[in-house]
Amino acid sequence: MMRKLLGACVLGLSLSVQAAIETYQFDSPEQEARFRQLGYELRCPKCQNQAIGDSDAEISGDLRAEVYRMLKEGATDAEIKDFMVARYGRYVLYNPPLDQQTLVLWFGPAGLLVLGGILVVLRIRQSKKALEEGESQA
Amino acid sequence: MNRLMVWLPLGVFAILVGFFFKGLTLDPTEQPSALIGQPVPAFELTDLNTGQLLSRDMLPKEPFLLNVWASWCITCQVEHPYLTKLSEQMPVVGLNYKDTETAAKNWLQKLGDPYALQIFDPTGRLGLDLGVAGAPETFLVDANGVIQLRIQGEVNDRVFAQKNPADA
């Protein structure tokens, strides 16, 4: 009895999940792959940290539909991204292009690492020198 | 060199404090609009109340507020009295966003209709062109039809006083 009930519950759940899935028909597997890729690279403007391909927000659904429409009309990936940036700003790009505004974003972490490395090397050299001086005095 | 090393952690700490302090007053849900300084996007939609075809040229030729709302949006109800008050100072154009005609009309009947025009955008097409992430959002548009300001979320005294340029 319990098992049957549980089974019914699971079935009910899976049905409601099915209902939320959008069905898009693509011309080619390649087009579908581009749709998915763009879904990963475009960020949902309403959510803090979700891609539109991963978000249940209303606006993400709208943007997915827009990406789909543009793909069908033969737009390139760059055109679709430009379209989104023109409306939602660069916030929508999960993979920001390299330019003056994003220099720190791209090279900041590596720069800090190099700076830290230099400091460590200097420090080691210094203590080595101090040690050698101490030995020669002894 | 050694002296520098002694002060380095304090320097790093000070920088971090600076960032965190700034972070205290930042609202991460607030995005800068890509449309500031841009004209209102072109559109052809009907007026919810009159059924008349509206386009960009028919927007007010003076500074006005463009308020994105929907009957399903709770915050829109909260800000409605404030917008009604503001509508005495400048025209407020409504953009009824992803709504149904009946629900929107009922909502206006119940809460009052301070809007000069009511753009009916059931598909959210104009909303998308405006970079709207969700209702409510309010744009301040100048006399030349250029967007000067966007307010995401509720419009109230505090928000409006904070963001409203003194000359508007």
State the best of A59, A66, A122 to mutate against chain B, taking most chain B CBs within 10 Å: A59
B168 part of a folded domain: no
Give the one of B29, B129, B134 whose C-beta lies nearest to A58's C-beta.
B134
For residue B168, pLDDT beyond 60: no
> Is residue B14, in this structure, part of any structural domain at all?
no
Residue in chain A nearest B35 by alpha carbon? A87
Confidence of residue A11 (pLDDT cuts 50, 70, 90): low
- The answer to whether B97 touches B132, Cβ cutoff 8 Å, is yes
Q: Which of B2, B128, B133 sits opposite A66 (nearest CB)?
A: B128
What is the full DSSP assignment across B27-60? -TTPPPPTTTTSBPPP-EEEETTT--EEEGGGS-
- CATH value at residue B71: 3.40.30.10
pLDDT by residue (tens digit) across A78-135?
999 999 999 998 889 988 888 888 888 889 999 999 999 999 999 899 888 888 887 7
Contacts of B124 in chain A (CB under 8 A): 62
Judge whether B95 and B68 are in contact, CB under 8 Å: yes
In a domain, B10, yes or no: no
pLDDT confidence bin for A72, thresholds 50/70/90: very high
Look up the domain containing B89 and give its range.
Answer: 31-163
pLDDT confidence band for A16 (50 / 70 / 90): very low
Does residue B123 sit within a domain?
yes
When pLDDT is cut at 50, 70 and 90, the band that residue A19 belongs to is very low
| Number of structural domains in chain B | 1
Nearest CA distance, A88 vs chain B (angstrom): 5
Residue B4 lies in a domain: no
Query: Does residue B11 fall inside a structural domain?
Result: no
Domain locations in chain A as residue ranges: 2-97, 98-138
Does residue B1 fall inside a structural domain? no
Backbone angles phi, psi at B153, to 5 degrees: 90, -165
Looking at CA atoms only, how far is residue B130 from chain A in angstroms? 6
Mutate one of B97, B132, B147, B152 to test the A interface: name it (highest A CB count within 10 A): B132
- Percent of chain B at pLDDT > 90 equals 73
In the CATH scheme, what is the homologous superfamily, with its name and number, of domain A2-97?
A: Cytochrome C biogenesis protein (1.10.8.640)
Q: Give the total residue count for chain A.
A: 138
